[in-house]
Structures are given as structure tokens and as C-alpha cells.
Amino acid sequence: MKRMHIHIAVNNLTDSIGFYSTIFGLKPSVERDDYAKWEVVEPAVNFAISNRGHASGINHLGIQVESESELKEIADRLDEAEITSSAQEGASCCYAHSNKHWAMDPQGIAWESFHTLGEIPIFGEDTKTDNADESSACCIPLSSSDADDENAACCVPNENDPDQNDATACCA
């Protein structure tokens, strides 16, 4: 078996161990004072790249599930761990129609858990605003400039502004 390896530098190991143990549904297989590793058998990796308007680097990470019950299980784990998350029902993004849940890890990296309902012929419609250009990527609905404005442009949370790194002002 081959397994994708992702290594993320973190600011607070304890907070990050709690987040990743919750998102993966298991404790680390190795845990040291400065390191933790999970050898996750499930899920296998869905790896995607794009050049649709975001800065180069990690856009987001995620877990694709095969059923709504698996999606609910992840959402329930996030709720039980009191990790703020955002639900998106019927999102049209990345050439797919999906139900999703979004959460931010302690570093501000967006995590998407999603169940794909079908393919669509376009990159996505759910994040376009009146002033959005055609090259913009799908939105990670974890922050916006104005939570009360449904047409506010979404932000990809990996920005240096700590106020943009939360899941409380969802624009979906």
C-alpha cells in the first residue's frame, strides 16, 4: 500500500493534536514533545491542484466521505470537541455538487469534509459575487468581510490576519 504524506508545521502542538485527532477520529500513532503522527488508513487521498486565483501553497485539506452518515459523523466529532465549523449544503464547486463541513485547524488551515453528490460542468457557481472575476477559485466559507452580507466575497483563510482565521462568519 502507498500512502500520501503531508507534514504541517504547527504553532501549538497540543491544540493541533486535539484538532487532528478529532478530524481523523483517532489518536496519533506516534506522539512526542515536538511531534505527532497519524497513520490514517481511511481516508485514502483525493489530491487536487488548481490555478484559479489563490496564492500558491496549501489551499485547504480535507476528507472525502462516501455517505451523508459519514459526513455527519465528522460534523458530530467537531461539535463534540467544540471546534467551530460551517456547513454547506448543495455546494457547487470544483466541478462537483457536494454537501460539506468546513473547520479551521489551529494554524488557520481550512479543512473540508465533503460528500460528493454529482459532477457539474463548471468550476462552481456558489461563490461568485457581482465583482468576482472568472479566475476566482471556489470559496472556503470560513470568513468574510461582513458576515451579515450574503453577497460578501469569501476569503481563503490562510492569511496573516488572525481575525480572518475563524469559522464564525460563514458566507454560505
C-alpha cell at 4: 500520501
Q: Which CATH number fits domain 45-164: 3.10.180, 3.40.1130, 1.20.1530, 3.40.50?
A: 3.10.180
Question: Residue 158 pLDDT > 50, yes or no?
Answer: no
* DSSP-derived 3-state class of residue 122: coil
For the ranges 14-18, 63-67, 133-137, the lowest mean pLDDT is seen at 133-137
C-alpha cell, 56 = 500558491
Please give the Cα distance from 153 to 15 (Å, whole number). 29
Report percent pLDDT > 70 for the chain. Answer: 65
pLDDT given for residue 131 in this prediction: 39
Question: Rounded mean pLDDT of the chain?
Answer: 74
pLDDT band at 45, cuts 50/70/90? confident
CA–CA dist 172, 159 (Å, integer):
19
Torsion of CA 88, 90, 91, 93, to 10 degrees: 150
Work out the burial of residue 72: count CB atoms within 10 Å of its CB; fewer than 13 is exposed, 13-18 middle, 19 or more buried. middle
pLDDT band at 60 (very low <50, low <70, confident <90, very high): confident
How many whole angstroms separate alpha carbon 9 and alpha carbon 34? 10
Parse the chain into domains and list their residue ranges.
Answer: 45-164
Report pLDDT digits (tens) over 93-114. 877 889 999 999 999 999 999 9
Distance between CA atoms of 147 and 15, rounded to whole angstroms? 26
